[in-house]
Amino acid sequence: MAEKYIGLTELAADVVSMIQNVASGPIVIMPTTGDFPQPGFLDKLYIETQFNKMYIWDGSAYILLSGSGGGESGMGNIFEYDNFAAFPATGEIQSVYIDKSNGNLYRWGGSAYVGIGGITSLATTSAAGLMSSTDKTKLNGLGSNATTSAAGLMSSTDKTKLDGVATSANNYTHPTTDGNKHVPANGTTNSGKVLKAGAAAGTYTWESLAATEISIDGTTVAAKFGTAVSDARSATTLLNVEVRTSDPVSPAVGRIWLRSDL
């Protein structure tokens, strides 16, 4: 097992060097507590060399780790392991544990290891924390601009285009007032019919026209050519008005034609 432990009362130059090599980032070493920065950082361990004591910053003040210091009983130790998985199942309350793989510092909280500074859990969408390897891989993949098939960063060209789009530009609602409506669907049962306006504004239906509904020079076809037209129209075929230069020979009942040469 890759393990080292050093009595805190015996911290010397070689020990300080070892600590700095293992986790130079999270550890701050100062001659006295008066030299500690104000405020401190939650993710760092502070060592005072004058009395060989260790402190952590709790957000408002420096807290002395139990057992550190030359004149106190229950002397603590500093342990270093290759990784967090190599830590012993049960730790010592007065000691500090160093994960050499990433430099993170821990203390034994009585039932589990607690990161010094409290940042040991992975970040979520609602809480700050450490970055997982999965999220780091995703972040590494955002080094190039996005394409139509791959996520990425937004280019300055695309940002300019986006800024040029007005708010709710695609939020179009077609008006439904009279004169703005679409032609109603004709389906399969309205062949040969015409679009007929209803009595109410904006209402239209597919209908067949009766002879009484067609006017020529102000006179309806039924009135102008007799009721036979209306009877033939309603009984058999659709109304058909023909323009000719001569009269047809033996026209069928209900047939209508107009002479353009007269």
Domain identity same for 47 and 68: yes
DSSP labels for 10-22? G--HHHHHHHHHH
**What is the pairing mode between strands 45-48 and 27-30?**
parallel
**Residue 78 falls within a domain, yes or no?**
yes
Please say whether the beta carbons of 106 and 116 come within 8 A: yes
Give the span between the Cα atoms of 3 and 81, in whole angstroms.
Answer: 5
Give the span between the Cα atoms of 245 and 256, in whole angstroms.
Answer: 13
Kindly tell me if the per-residue pLDDT of 230 is higher than 50.
Answer: no
Please say whether the beta carbons of 66 and 73 come within 8 A: no
Domain identity same for 201 and 219: no
State the chain's mean pLDDT as an integer: 73
pLDDT score for 90: 92
pLDDT score for 87: 93
**Residue 155 falls within a domain, yes or no?**
no
Helix-strand-coil split of the chain, %, nearest 5: 20, 25, 55
Q: What is the pLDDT of residues 100-119, one digit of tens each?
A: 887 777 888 788 888 775 45
Question: What is the 3-class SS of 84-136, one letter each residue?
Answer: HHHCCCCCCCCCEEEECCCCEEEEECCCCEEECCCCCCECCCCCCCECCHHHH
Q: What are the φ and ψ backbone dihedral angles of 28, each rounded to 5 degrees?
A: -120, 125
Domain identity same for 22 and 42: yes
**Residue 167 falls within a domain, yes or no?**
no
**Residue 115 falls within a domain, yes or no?**
yes
**Residue 174 falls within a domain, yes or no?**
no
Domain identity same for 11 and 115: yes
68 compared with 48, residue with greater pLDDT: 48
146 compared with 88, residue with greater pLDDT: 88
Please say whether the beta carbons of 28 and 45 come within 8 A: yes
Q: What is the pLDDT of residues 35-65, one digit of tens each?
A: 888 888 876 778 888 777 778 777 778 877 7
Tell the residue number behind the tokens 């409290």, with chain if given. Answer: 118
pLDDT score for 6: 40
Give the span between the Cα atoms of 106 and 116, in whole angstroms.
Answer: 5
Residue 31: domain span: 4-120
Domain identity same for 187 and 251: no
Kindly tell me if the per-residue pLDDT of 190 is higher than 60.
Answer: yes
Total number of domains in the chain = 3
Domain identity same for 58 and 81: yes
Kindly tell me if the per-residue pLDDT of 141 is higher than 80.
Answer: no
Beta bridge partners of 79: 5, 97
pLDDT score for 107: 80
Lookup: tokens for 67: 């057992």
Give the span between the Cα atoms of 59 and 80, in whole angstroms.
Answer: 26
**Residue 236 falls within a domain, yes or no?**
yes
Segment among 4-13, 181-190, 241-250 with least mean pLDDT: 4-13
Q: Which of 25, 22, 16, 30 is nearest to 97 (CA)?
A: 22
Domain identity same for 111 and 74: yes
3-state class (DSSP) for residue 1: coil
Domain identity same for 184 and 246: no
